[in-house]
A and B are shown apart, each in its own frame.
Chain A
Amino acid sequence: MDGIDLMAAAMHAARTRLDVSASNLANASSAGFRRRIARATLTERGLAVATALDRRQGPLERTGRTFDLAAVGGSLFVRDPRGAVVAERSASFSLDATGALVDERGRALLGERGLVRATSGATVDARGVVRDDGNVLDRIRLSPGASVESGFIERSNVDSIGEMVDVLAAQRAFETAEKTLAAIDETRAKDANDVARVKS
């Protein structure tokens, strides 16, 4: 690895950091979104960036809608249209014509008896029990130890200020690497051209 390769890797790393921060910023309004973290490490091939998920819970926002659900300390489960079961932290469900609770991506909420079927007047308690006028309809399937908040949506855990700082930092890191690369290039140009001139 010479200086030019190292600087090229550094520019690449800065670009990835910007990709991550830009996408995080774009998702500041996506309910339940978990921000990605870009971690740069120095390897023998120069700077390399790995991304990870920031699993911290986002703030809960009160919406007052019964079927806006946020799992606290775990997750609830939905079945996507292809039949796969997905763990989810928070989603806005609404009744479909069959009485199933479906979120905006068309995924149905799972209970202990299969799909949760509810009525427009139903309530959901912290243990996930769905009741209509006292009658238990179903219980939402939750991961062990989790509880559920009805009437709340978990907001994105993106901190816009922090992401803005990361955008600026990535941009400056890119510029620094580029300047260094240009300086190395200039030195080498001198080596090549001036040494040749002395000889002739």
Chain B
Amino acid sequence: MNRALYAAATGMAAQQQTLDVVADNLANADVPGFKRAAATFGAIGDNLGTTALGIRRLFEQGKLERSGGPFDVAIDGAGFFALERDGRHAYTRNGSFVRASDGTLRNADGWRLAGIRVPADATAVDVASDGRVSIDLAGGKHREIGRIRLALFAAPERLRSIGSALFAATREAGAPTTVAAGGARGPKLAFGMLERANVSIIEAMMAILAAQRAYEANAKGVQAADEMQRIANNLHRG
């Protein structure tokens, strides 16, 4: 049995997977509300190499950035916007919405922000830090039209990723609980802002370099194991 050959090959596969995950992080570095992922590995058996334990999503807060979009909202703190489309539910921290013709606020993929409908005669929209949505009407009148509520999960890291910043509930993540923003310790909403992806380009580049070098080192291990096998096969030259 040529253990070293297979052990080194598992190392190459691990670094390949790290590169895939880092590449995905980089590709989404400009998506508001995107959360970076990291592949984690653990040893297997007695000198049998390594195996992927899973891909973790890291929900650290991204920086809030003024965006200027008329319906952009960012979450400062925990929680997700609850979205609906065709009777299905999804959760996101990407608060980049546009007003659809029916008055609902939708994201670029057509997911609708639950519970809010902006009437056609509104001249301006404002969202307070506690999620209350108010509109300006012609003649200087204001009206409150609803409140954006956030979904909280007991274990957000166990949500299933179904898009670049979009998640579906899972049994492991727990059922979502709906909270209002603006409590003393709770999340707050920031209107006219977007949460940047929590991807650091510099860290991603460093991770790529490290993965490349580790890949090469494991490839050398494969070569050495193969070379030994070749020598062993030539022992009997006749």
Q: Which residues of A contact B (CB under 8 A)?
A: 11, 14-15, 18-23, 25-31, 33, 36, 51, 64-65, 92, 94-99, 104-105, 120-121, 133, 160, 163-164, 167-168, 170-171, 174-175, 178, 181-182
Contacts and interface: CB of A to CB of B under 8 A. Distances in A.
B158 A97 contact: yes
Contacts of B232: 11, 178
25 contacts: A15-B4, A15-B228, A18-B224, A19-B47, A21-B221, A22-B224, A22-B225, A23-B4, A23-B48, A23-B50, A25-B11, A26-B221, A27-B49, A29-B15, A29-B18, A29-B214, A31-B41, A92-B56, A95-B155, A96-B174, A105-B42, A120-B156, A167-B220, A171-B228, A181-B235
Given A120-B78, A168-B224, A171-B227, A29 B155 contact: no
Interface string B13-34: 0110010000000000000000
Contacts, number: 139
B41 A27 contact: yes
Contacts of B172: 96-97
Contacts of B161: none
A96 B4 contact: no
B224 A26 contact: no
Contacts of B174: 96-97
Given A18-B228, A181-B235, A27 B43 contact: yes
A34 B159 CA distance: 31
B157 A99 contact: no
Given A31-B40, A95-B154, A160-B214, A167 B224 contact: yes
Contacts of B78: 120-121
B228 A26 contact: no
B14 A26 contact: yes
A132 B53 CA distance: 29
Contacts of B171: 97
Given A104-B53, A167-B224, A20 B47 contact: yes
B162 interface: no
Contacts of B228: 14-15, 18, 171, 174
Contacts of A23: 3-4, 7, 43, 47-50
A187 to B, nearest CB: 15
Given A15-B228, A28-B214, A178-B235, A97 B40 contact: no
Contacts of A171: 224, 227-228
